[in-house]
Structure 1
Amino acid sequence: MPPGKPVTLLLIVVAQVLALALWFSGTAAGPPMAREGALPAGFLAWLTSAVQAGFVIGTLGSATLALPDRLDPRRLIAAASLVGAAANALILVLPLGHTGVLAARAATGAALACVYPPGMKLAAGWADRNDTGLLVGLLVGGVTLGSAGPHLANALGGVDWRLTVAAASGAAIVAAVLILAVRLGPRHAPAPPFRISQALGLLTDRGTRLATLGYLGHMWELYAMWAWIGPYLSASFAAWHGTPDTGVGAGAAYATFAVIAAGALGCVGAGVIADRVGRTRVTIWAMGISGACCLLAGPAFGAHPALVVTLGLVWGVTVVADSAQFSASVAELAPPGLAGTLLTAQTSLGFALTLATIQAMPWLVGHLGWGGGAFAVLAIGPAFGCVAMARLRASPMAARLAGGRG
């Protein structure tokens, strides 16, 4: 192991989680905002969607300009963290429910486009043939814990949303300082001369194209599940007890936190296994199980809460376990010096897709109902992803994954 590798990786993970607190702060601040005063119709939904839309726009621009490979990723992450901290802090001086709040959230998302993918590139720069999946899995696992955090905050209640927003901006400033202390890894490759077509290599190369198609199948399911598992659990608990569903109460919020947070264990565990048995195998296994959970969610609706939560925990572990392995696959298949650009392009496509599935869920719930198969539609993504990764496994490119394990 290269000198300083554990400390460097710890700094990368901590800095990423602290910077991405900017993303999660909006989710945590939304319900307290609504309790404080009347908000425009759809404001809370857009509070979440705005940061994702900004992230998609930011990643498209970053990938097109190949910023993660042309610039020092440490300085890029530090600068983006500071910009995101400033954009997030604007919420504190704007009137409650003002459209400028949504613009600030979109700007925050655009800044984070230069934090998350370059962070994966930094981690991959320290990887060797036996631990790429684990290192990226640690990073995604930290992000998964951050995604679960707002649900715990909402369950506990009583936290002023202004404190949440200010703390997130402060955390991002700390992240900017920490990331500058990181050293570049031995596998960090300099970028080739810039060409605007470089990002298109993600889709023109068969190996990275299949890995990205697998990732898109995974993303079709992931964020829609994360966004709507709370309302599902709340409605299911109410149906079991025979009481009206009045929204996500403390019990459902705690359960939602546990379901999403369990994914952090899945990310790390899948990374360890994938480095030993192959990335394509692990992604197919994870998508197969999570796709089955999509189909079982309808029949399980209204059952005993212990059964529903158990299903949710299995789903929570597997729905994100494979996420890092798609990124690790692209990092291993990318031409030298272009891993950051291709990872950014992959992430951009995936998050663009999540906007469609998150917004489609209310319509599906309204027409199909939780017990009628609203979540079952999400199984389309894992099924598609399994086919893509099976084709990658059968191709010669698989020999470049996980030290030849596929």
Structure 2
Amino acid sequence: MKPSKTILPIIVLSQFCCTSLWFAGNGVMRDLVATFGLSESAVGHLTSVVQFGFIVGTLLFAILSISDRFSPSKVFFSCAVLGALFNLGVIWEGNGLASILFFRFLTGFFLAGIYPVGMKIAADYYEKGLGKSLGYLVGALVVGTAFPHLLKEMTHTLSWKTVLMATSSLAVLGGALMVSLVPDGPYRKRGQQLQLSAFLKVFGNGSFRSAAFGYFGHMWELYAFWAFVPIMLQTYALVHPATTFNIPLLSFFIIGIGGLACVFGGYVAQVAGTKRVAFMVLLLSCACCLMSPLLFAQQSEVLFVSFLMFWGMVVIADSPLFSTLVAQNASPEVKGTALTIVNCFGFAITIVSIQLLNEMRTLTNSNTVYIILALGPILGLAALASKNKLQKTQ
């Protein structure tokens, strides 16, 4: 059965509205520090605690097989409302660091019922053309990731409380759209009973393992690159004093252009094959990691920014393709669990790579530190090159 033409736009819009909760805190971080008298070290804690909440949430959702045992749209809506409420909790005037961390942790926790569940909903509707569909979905997330950098250019016109209230309202709207307009998909196969070990059994499939480890290698690089884009621009500007970068705006474009790359990659995969395109894109992003030290010595601002724009495209374009391979190589009744546990492990890896890169930068000023990001793609390429035969369905 061919899904309605409105289904995919609604899923993408709902996903964007709800994942705005993830990045709202980034846009008002400095306001929180000033308003509640927090120390500068609190910035790192407030950033990491959302990721940690998401990891804990995805682990629990995977163990309980939530999105396979219950209607994914209803799970999405419930988590959108709860995430919106905890996002609003930050506005409470009696907050301190502990309570803000608590609210941001729970916001991240309920995002576990939004991002991977949104991909599960798409997989239930699009057996063919799933790579293209997830390309739009991940593209929406990428734009959401980039948005806080643009928000820094706009916050002088909006109060930080208004930003949080607006993102919570968007999340409720996105959840309402999903639950009212996107019923369970035609390819959904409901999990019949609770199997606490199902989230680990999926790795017994060699093809699934190959796709998952390719995704893990990609995630080692992805969020570390996103986190350090402003620092790369700042470093180049310090080495070349004549440089006139608008760092927040450039960061928005370097990260945001990846959304277009996700969509483009999905269409290319329909012609060239999902695994092949994922392999090529991961290879290109690996090359960017290895070449990065050479670019800081370049006198041309245009060349440097162009390189970062290209890196911003290839660092994310394979993400929906890996999610497609994961979904296609998991049993239908545990597809949601498979996507959720892979997200859980993938985001846990991002914390390790970000912290490692941050520690390396405290030990040396050398721009060769970014080569460490190539480790993930190298291991991911090795996993994809294994003899396990991945599904070729587009």
What is the correspondence of 1:386-397 to structure 2 with a 5 Å cutoff? 386-391=381-386, 394-395=387-388, 397=389
| Residue aligned with 2:332, SS | coil
Query: Could you say which residue in structure 1 is the equivalent of 2:323?
Result: 327
Q: CA deviation at 1:95?
A: 4.5
From the superposition, tell whether residues 370 and 273 of structure 1 become closer, same or farther in structure 2 (CA, over 3 Å): farther
Query: Could you say which residue in structure 2 is the equivalent of 1:197?
Result: 197
- AA at the equivalent of 2:259: A
Residues 132, 275 of structure 1: 8 Å contact kept: no
- AA at the equivalent of 1:286: V
In structure 1, what is the Cα distance between the partners aligned to 2:270 and 2:88? 40
Q: CA deviation at 1:149?
A: 0.3
Query: Could you say which residue in structure 2 is the equivalent of 1:352?
Result: 348
Q: CA deviation at 1:287?
A: 1.2
| Residue aligned with 2:235, SS | helix
How many aligned residue pairs are there? 391
TM-score normalised by L of structure 1: 0.92
Query: Could you say which residue in structure 1 is the equivalent of 2:305?
Result: 309
Query: Could you say which residue in structure 1 is the equivalent of 2:392?
Result: 401
In structure 2, what is the Cα distance between the partners aligned to 1:330 and 1:317? 21
Residues 18, 174 of structure 1: 8 Å contact kept: yes
In structure 1, what is the Cα distance between the partners aligned to 2:37 and 2:236? 28
What is the correspondence of 1:6-405 to structure 2 with a 5 Å cutoff? 6-34=5-33, 38-95=37-94, 98-129=97-128, 131-158=129-156, 159-180=158-179, 181-241=181-241, 251-303=246-298, 304-371=300-367, 373-391=368-386, 394-395=387-388, 397-398=389-390, 400-403=391-394
Of 279-288 and 60-69, deviating more is 279-288
TM-score normalised by L of structure 2: 0.95
Consecutive unaligned residues of structure 1, counting only runs of 5 or more, are 244-248
| Residue aligned with 1:320, SS | coil
Of 191-200 and 375-384, deviating more is 191-200
- AA at the equivalent of 1:343: L
- AA at the equivalent of 2:392: L
In structure 2, what is the Cα distance between the partners aligned to 1:45 and 1:108? 16
Q: CA deviation at 1:286?
A: 1.0
Deviations 1:213-248 (A, max 9, x none): 1111000000011011111112212221168xxxxx
| Residue aligned with 1:155, SS | coil
Residues 15, 178 of structure 1: 8 Å contact kept: yes
Q: CA deviation at 1:36?
A: 5.1
Deviations 1:148-196 (A, max 9, x none): 0000111344132211111111111111210112122221222243211
Of 233-242 and 136-145, deviating more is 233-242
| Residue aligned with 1:189, SS | coil
- AA at the equivalent of 2:260: L
- AA at the equivalent of 1:155: E
In structure 2, what is the Cα distance between the partners aligned to 1:301 and 1:155? 26
Deviations 1:54-90 (A, max 9, x none): 0000000000000010010010000000110111100
Q: CA deviation at 1:212?
A: 0.8
Residues 71, 184 of structure 2: 8 Å contact kept: no
Of 251-260 and 294-303, deviating more is 294-303
| Residue aligned with 2:2, SS | coil
From the superposition, tell whether residues 29 and 264 of structure 1 become closer, same or farther in structure 2 (CA, over 3 Å): same
| Residue aligned with 1:337, SS | helix
